[in-house]
């Protein structure tokens, strides 16, 4: 399509639209103003120009004629005619850049070489050389830092390799040790079982003898109390009269039925055996409250003699005990309340099982020793198993490429802003605490890797008020030192930090141009 009243230019005249822009490998490259070197072949003055979007084909002389013939503006790279076009600043000595074509000849120097202002309305100083110098100086510093970071990363890898080899060796040694200890554990378990078998029999026998002795002593003592009560009531029938009971015990004295009261009145007609068997069980609690008779008396340990002593000997013993008890009971009636602790001790002494006999004690001590040795061994065995599990966890954990991030485990790094101090502990947790004091707030526990080992994600932190649990993303950047660079809360309860570390540093570029990505206009 051609504009009305305009004829095609001859090919020779078309070169007027070209200018010497760049020198590449000693060869001058002609291209229209505003065209990057990489697109120079698309502007061939020897033939018609085809719009990049294929919307039109025009004579090459129409290129940069300040009239927009292509919908994409590709025919006007060096004029402001097409609003959708772009002007390429070569900026030799600095970094080339594309700017909107509308900025061409607008009276503002957008290109550091001034090439966007060529209509003499304004004079632009070429600042590319100075800017390029500053950029290269900064880039050289960055390369030095990257190189140092990469060297440290290599050191991390070697350290982790050594640590991994040590842990593998320790794991193998623990496996062997635990297998050997399994046999020892079985021996100690059998030793304990062998010691507990006779212990169980002997202790059971001792307890049975003790219970029999205790029951026999309680029965004899109870009979003695019944006889004492029989004599006391026979001597003083008024003791258990309704009037006396009500006077001394109040409503508690109403517990005896009429049949008992009638029997008390004719106590002289009742034998001691009938009293002991029929009446004493019904009146003993009331009687004891009136006379404060202790329920039990202390007894001695069961012995072989305790089972063979004659009934008369027991009676003699109880008579002596009763006599001693009566003397104590009447010694000081005014201080009767002081005797109650002693009464409690009667029951305590009676129920307290005495020490084992020497033979039983020897069996108990032997079993206790076997149990203690097995328990100590099992504690040691459990500690070794925990150590083994810790080694396995470390060896199986994902520490990134070459396991390089294992060098950071166990370390913590802090960052302080105006309000808080943040602490990042890789593979553990992230916490926050106020600068002016206070407790830590959990911002997350170690969760997982994200973005191909460039982001650490910590979740399940302390829950926000009426909100979710806190979480943190730690964005990793290459740096010569481990350093938390920033901390923010872009969303409620969701935190983000930057962390510079040699662990993510890759092989640095060999020169400044490679680092800056400058391969054409420089």
pLDDT tens string 80-106: 999 899 999 999 888 899 999 999 999
For the cut 60, the answer to whether the pLDDT of residue 54 exceeds it is yes
SS3 annotation, 23-47: EECCEEEEECCCCCHHHHHHCCCCC
Q: How confident is the model at residue 455 (pLDDT cuts 50, 70, 90)?
A: very high
For residues 323 and 63, the model is more confident at 63
Bridge partners of residue 404, in order along the sequence: none
> pLDDT value at position 121?
87
Q: Which domains can be identified in the chain, with CATH numbers?
A: 28-125 (no CATH), 132-290 (no CATH), 402-501 (2.70.130.10)
Over 60: is that where the pLDDT of 377 sits? yes
Q: How far is C-alpha 182 from the chain's CA centre?
A: 32
Mean pLDDT calculated for residue range 277-283 = 83
Cα–Cα dist 384/245, whole Å: 72
Question: Using 50, 70 and 90 to split pLDDT, how confident is the model at 28?
Answer: low
Judged by DSSP in three states, 321 sits in helix
> How many helices and strands, by DSSP H and E, does the chain display?
10, 14
Task: Taking each helix axis as running N to C, give the angle between helix 358-396 and helix 128-235, from 0 to 180 degrees, rounded to the nearest 10.
Answer: 160
Check residue 339 and give its pLDDT: 41
CA angle 445, 449, 451 (to 5 degrees): 135
Residue 499: pLDDT band by 50, 70, 90 thresholds?
very high
Quote the crossing angle between the two packed helices 242-249 and 280-291, to the nearest 10°: 50
pLDDT (mean) for 278-297: 69
Q: Say yes or no to pLDDT of 10 above 70.
A: no
* Residue 274 in this model has a pLDDT that exceeds 90: no
pLDDT digits (tens, 9 = 90+) for 197-209: 999 999 999 999 9
Of 24-33, 352-361, 367-376, 466-475, give the lowest mean pLDDT range. 24-33
Q: What is the pLDDT of residue 327?
A: 45
Rounded CA gap, 484 and 304, in Å?
81
Q: Indicate the SS3 state at residue 4.
A: coil
Residues 6+ away with beta carbon under 8 Å from 3: 62, 67, 69
For 308-365, what is each residue's pLDDT tens digit? 333 343 444 444 434 443 444 443 344 344 444 445 555 556 678 889 999 999 999 9
| Residue 503 contacts residue 476 (beta carbons within 8 Å) | yes
Q: What is the pTM of this model?
A: 0.58
Percent of the chain with pLDDT over 70: 78
Mean pLDDT is lowest, of 23-37, 63-77, 277-291, for 23-37
Q: Are strands 441-450 and 455-459 parallel, antiparallel or unpaired?
A: antiparallel
Given the structure tokens 């070459």, which residue do they identify?
402
Find how far residue 447's CA is from the centre of its chain: 11
Give residue 283's pLDDT. Answer: 79
Identify the band that residue 12 occupies on the pLDDT scale cut at 50, 70 and 90. Answer: very low
Lowest mean pLDDT among 161-175, 265-279, 295-309, 447-461: 295-309
DSSP one-letter string for 160-227: HHHHHHHHHHHHHHHHHHHHHHHHHHHHHHHHHHHHHHHHHHHHHHHHHHHHHHHHHHHHHHHHHHHH
Specify whether the CB–CB gap between 325 and 297 falls below 8 A: yes
Residue 2: per-residue pLDDT: 40
Q: In b/e form, how buried is each residue of 475-503, taking b as 16+ CB within 10 angstroms?
A: bbebbbebebeebeeeeebbbbbbbbbbb
pLDDT of 113 reads 93
Q: Which residues of 411-446 are buried (b: 16+ CB within 10 A; e: fewer)?
A: eebebeeeebebbbbbbbbbbbbeeeeeeeebbbbb
Q: What pLDDT shows up at residue 335?
A: 39
Coil/strand/helix, residue 89: strand
The Cα 326–Cα 331 span in angstroms is 8
The neighbour count for residue 410, using CB atoms within 10 Å, is 10
Please identify which residue in the block is written with the tokens 């925990």: 386
Q: What local confidence, expressed as pLDDT, does residue 498 receive?
A: 97
Above 50 in pLDDT, residue 301?
A: no
Which of 116-130, 285-299, 492-506 has the lowest average pLDDT? 285-299
Q: How many CB atoms lie within 10 A of CB 207?
A: 14
Neighbours of 510 (CB within 10 A): 9
Report the alpha-carbon distance of residue 164 to residue 171 in Å, rounded: 10
Q: What percent of the chain has pLDDT over 90?
A: 57
pLDDT, tens only, 413-431: 999 999 999 999 999 999 9
Flag the least confident range among 67-81, 281-295, 318-332.
318-332
Mean pLDDT on 285-304:
55
Q: What is the pLDDT of residue 26?
A: 41
Q: Does 241 or 441 have the greater pLDDT score?
A: 441
Task: Among 224-238, 249-263, 344-358, name the one with the lowest average pLDDT.
Answer: 249-263
- Position 243 pLDDT exceeds 80: no
Structure confidence by residue, pLDDT tens digits, 126-157: 999 999 999 888 888 888 888 999 999 999 99
Whole-number average pLDDT of the chain:
82
Task: State the pLDDT confidence band at 511, using cuts at 50, 70 and 90.
Answer: low
Partners of residue 497 on adjacent β-strands: 474, 487
The CA angle 29-31-32, to the nearest 5 degrees, is 160
Determine contact, residues 388/214, Cβ cutoff 8 Å: no
Provide, for the chain, the percentages of residues in helix, strand and coil under a 3-state DSSP scheme, each rounded to the nearest 5: 50, 15, 35
How confident is the model over 488-516, as a mean pLDDT? 86
Give 101-149 as a DSSP string: GGGTTSSS--STT-TT--SSSSPPP--HHHHHHHHHHHHHHHHHHHHHH
**160 closest CA partner among 406, 397, 503:** 406
Highest mean pLDDT among 112-121, 226-235, 469-478: 469-478
Quote the tokens at residue 481: 């030192």
pLDDT(194) > 90: yes
Distant-in-sequence, close-in-space partners of 177: CB < 8 Å, separation ≥ 6: 384
Neighbours of 271 (CB within 10 A): 9
Give Cα separations from 399 to 337, 390, 395, 494 (angstroms).
Answer: 76, 15, 9, 24
Give the integer Cα–Cα distance in Å for 479 and 174.
Answer: 38
């Amino acid at each position: 399509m051609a504009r009305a009243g305009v004829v095609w230019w001859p090919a020779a005249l078309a070169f007027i639209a070209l200018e010497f822009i760049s020198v590449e490998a000693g060869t001058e490259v002609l291209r229209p103003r505003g065209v990057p070197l990489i697109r120079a072949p698309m502007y061939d003055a020897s033939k018609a120009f085809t719009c990049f979007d294929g919307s039109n084909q025009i004579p090459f002389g129409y290129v940069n004629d300040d009239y927009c013939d292509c919908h994409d503006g590709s025919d006007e790279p060096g004029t402001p005619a097409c609003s959708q076009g772009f002007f390429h600043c070569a900026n030799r000595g600095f970094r080339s850049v594309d700017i909107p074509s509308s900025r061409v000849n607008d009276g503002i120097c957008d290109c550091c070489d001034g090439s966007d202002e060529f209509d003499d309305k304004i004079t632009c100083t070429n600042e590319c050389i100075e800017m390029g110098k500053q950029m290269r100086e900064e880039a050289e510093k960055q390369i030095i830092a990257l190189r140092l970071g990469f060297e440290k990363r290599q050191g991390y890898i070697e350290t982790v390799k050594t640590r991994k080899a040590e842990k593998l060796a320790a794991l193998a040694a623990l496996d062997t040790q635990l297998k050997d200890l399994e046999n020892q554990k079985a021996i100690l378990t059998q030793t304990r079982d062998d010691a507990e078998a006779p212990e169980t029999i002997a202790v059971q026998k001792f307890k049975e003898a003790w219970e029999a002795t205790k029951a026999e002593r309680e029965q004899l003592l109870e009979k003695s109390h019944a006889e004492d009560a029989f004599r006391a009531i026979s001597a003083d029938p008024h003791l258990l009269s309704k009037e006396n009971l009500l006077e001394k015990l109040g409503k508690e004295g109403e517990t005896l039925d009429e049949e008992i009261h009638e029997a008390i009145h004719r106590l002289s007609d009742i034998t001691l055996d009938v009293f002991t068997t029929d009446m004493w069980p019904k009146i003993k609690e009331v009687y004891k409250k009136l006379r404060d008779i202790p329920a039990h008396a202390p007894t001695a340990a069961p012995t072989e003699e305790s089972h063979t002593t004659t009934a008369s000997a027991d009676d003699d013993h109880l008579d002596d005990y009763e006599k001693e008890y009566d003397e104590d009971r009447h010694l000081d009636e005014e201080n009767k309340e002081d005797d109650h602790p002693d009464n409690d001790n009667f029951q305590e002494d009676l129920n307290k099982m005495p020490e084992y006999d020497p033979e039983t004690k020897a069996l108990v001590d032997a079993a206790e020793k076997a149990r203690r040795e097995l328990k100590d061994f099992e504690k040691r065995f459990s500690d070794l198993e925990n150590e083994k599990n810790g080694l396995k966890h470390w060896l199986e954990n994902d520490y990134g490429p070459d396991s390089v991030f294992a060098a950071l485990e166990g370390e913590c790094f802090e960052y302080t802003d105006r309000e808080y101090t943040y602490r990042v502990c890789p593979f553990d947790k992230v916490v926050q605490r106020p600068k002016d004091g206070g407790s830590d707030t959990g911002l997350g526990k170690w969760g997982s890797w994200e973005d191909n080992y460039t982001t650490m994600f910590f979740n399940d932190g302390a829950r926000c008020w009426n909100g979710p649990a806190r979480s943190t993303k730690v964005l990793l950047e290459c740096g010569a030192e481990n350093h938390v660079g920033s901390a923010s809360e872009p969303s409620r309860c969701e935190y983000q930090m930057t962390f510079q570390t040699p662990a993510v540093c890759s092989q640095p570029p060999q020169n400044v141009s490679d680092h800056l990505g400058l391969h054409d206009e420089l």
